[in-house]
Structure 1
């Protein structure tokens, strides 16, 4: 059976005997797993029900063959087409979603969604929906690697860390297997939880998640250490990147001395609290440099550095290159 927590209400058209059509828009370098997982749910729903409950098509800007992030190409069924009001359009994003989000795609999205079409984004495709203004004032999610850059660029979107998010006629996933969770939700809404459970069983998918489940592992699982105070401090660090908290205040907030906190980090993570915090800030900075067009100065400020020179010095020490060279090298790799 599917999990008991209350499911979000989907503003989707119930098929009520009518076949529902999904139009998947494949963006260049889309994540194969997210796309394949979604389509397989629809295929199995048809198979397990013995009816054609769903049909699906794959389209792309210009049509033709679209390369996935695996290097394997998918032959699409055609160019961006005019949609029917009852269609559900699902964008499939990947590593280079910014480059794949063209003016033609955005104009098409805005025009078609004015009809009331349900629109979704898998993996990083929430970026495309947000760029088109379709997520303003709505709850959404995106792969955890893109959360920092997304929140900087789209302040009007209520970004969550859940595996998928549904708000009215907009739906987004964090990528990977979260497509399965979203599409099981759709099937359960359209045709009942028994059918959704049958589809999950066919996929050997036993840990079905809801929109209340977060996409990243818990801090103890990620760092391989189950120490409540250490986890609490790291959570505070991750939540305060732009305005870092001093080690003395962090220690005080978990009822420890600064020296005790220092020993705790040395014992479990082999580095000082200050060093660990710096690495978190630099990792966010690297994400922003590669995923946004923010100036290096603004990236530095967003990551708690008072000056570009200090930021550049710390960045070079950790990554053995400067922020400017890092961005230039990344741009060169994308243009190849």
Structure 2
């Protein structure tokens, strides 16, 4: 018995000695500057502040075929400035192609991905990802273990399909706000740039991933660090700003699908959050009134109520899911070229 006690004490003393002798190592956030340092300071190569090697933030980035480039590359850049350990994860380690043709070989497949503090889910061509039960299962499991899960753009649809947005508030890219509300009926979908539910963070489209990443840094490392990184990447970050692309009134303009042989030339498009006007030239093998009736048929099918029908003009009204009523007007005048018309489509909020 005495020998056992002595042996245990030896092990404990040895462990304590190793722990006492362990040194804190500091490194540059830039992976290419691999030198290790014994104390904090600045990297002698690039001037970035050194970070403790063992305390670096760990970020797992989910990638898939036709992921939107900026949705994950921008957050990688921003979070990288904290000295984070960043790695990519995919269903397999086979190369994937992004929306703009960038070829990426994922670092890990789903089964072998290391633990992380953050799981980043970009948008892009998300339909295959949200139909892949292995991917959804991975996200659900990571959501239990990781500190943050952040989607960018329509990556919110993947989180919705995984059930992570149920009972929460979320946002997505401007053109798919209403669609997300349909896909995720248990989620309150809002027109905001960044929505923070604690663990689950969603952002609007594309560049909003930069704001989401800075917001995450603000939470984890403090406002001064987030502001310093925003300056370092030369980005005008305003966390108090209420601006987001989805609040502009052109996102409320109804889509009109033109015939295959039609040609549309945009001339002007401008407005604000309460009104918008789009002016262009349309060539279509229809009469002026046929073209207006063609548009009316589509709008009525989408819930717009015809309010006015006169020669060369149509107007419709609709109340959206947010309780706001919008008036859309389409006017058409013949151009000098046969079967060509100058078209003006406008929208303005009339109540709500």
The aligned counterpart of 2:183 is 153
Say which SS state the counterpart of residue 155 (structure 2) adopts: helix
> Bigger radius of gyration, 1 or 2?
2
The aligned counterpart of 2:262 is none
Q: Which runs of 5+ in 2 are unaligned?
A: 1-51, 254-267, 278-299, 309-314, 320-326, 334-340, 348-352
Q: Classify 1:75/1:84 alpha carbon distance in 2 versus 1 (closer, same or farther; 3 Å).
A: closer
Q: How does 1:208-247 map to 2 (within 5 A)?
A: 208-209=238-239, 212-216=242-246, 218-219=248-249, 224-225=269-270, 231=276, 242-247=302-307
The aligned counterpart of 1:35 is 72
Q: Which of 55, 72, 79 is the aligned partner of 2:102?
A: 72
The aligned counterpart of 2:197 is 167
Q: TM-score, normalised by structure 2?
A: 0.57
- The answer to which structure has the higher strand fraction is 2
CA shift, 1:151, in A, is 1.9
Q: Classify 1:211/1:130 alpha carbon distance in 2 versus 1 (closer, same or farther; 3 Å).
A: farther
Q: Which of 48, 57, 69 is the aligned partner of 1:20?
A: 57
Q: How does 1:311-322 map to 2 (within 5 A)?
A: none
Are the equivalent residues in 1 in contact too, given 2:330–2:343 (CA < 8 A)?
no
CA distance in 2, matches of 1:203, 1:127: 29
The aligned counterpart of 1:130 is 160
Say which SS state the counterpart of residue 246 (structure 2) adopts: coil
CA distance in 2, matches of 1:121, 1:107: 16
CA distance in 1, matches of 2:93, 2:69: 17
Say which SS state the counterpart of residue 247 (structure 1) adopts: strand
Q: How does 1:88-167 map to 2 (within 5 A)?
A: 88-94=118-124, 96-101=125-130, 102-115=132-145, 117-167=147-197
Cα RMSD after superposing both structures: 3.9
Are the equivalent residues in 2 in contact too, given 1:165–1:211 (CA < 8 A)?
no
- The answer to which structure has the higher helix fraction is 1
Are the equivalent residues in 1 in contact too, given 2:126–2:154 (CA < 8 A)?
yes
Say which SS state the counterpart of residue 88 (structure 2) adopts: strand
Q: Classify 1:201/1:112 alpha carbon distance in 2 versus 1 (closer, same or farther; 3 Å).
A: closer
Q: What do the CA deviations read for 1:245-298 (whole angstroms, capped 9, x no partner)?
A: 4435979x9xxxxxxx9999569x95476xx68xxxxxxxxxxxxxxxxxxxxx
CA shift, 1:81, in A, is 4.0
Q: Classify 1:163/1:263 alpha carbon distance in 2 versus 1 (closer, same or farther; 3 Å).
A: closer
Q: Classify 1:140/1:263 alpha carbon distance in 2 versus 1 (closer, same or farther; 3 Å).
A: closer
Say which SS state the counterpart of residue 176 (structure 2) adopts: helix
Q: Classify 1:147/1:106 alpha carbon distance in 2 versus 1 (closer, same or farther; 3 Å).
A: same
CA shift, 1:104, in A, is 0.8
Q: Which runs of 5+ in 1 are unaligned?
A: 1-14, 47-53, 233-239, 254-260, 278-336
Are the equivalent residues in 1 in contact too, given 2:57–2:117 (CA < 8 A)?
yes
Q: What do the CA deviations read for 1:131-164 (whole angstroms, capped 9, x no partner)?
A: 0111001111111232233222211111112222
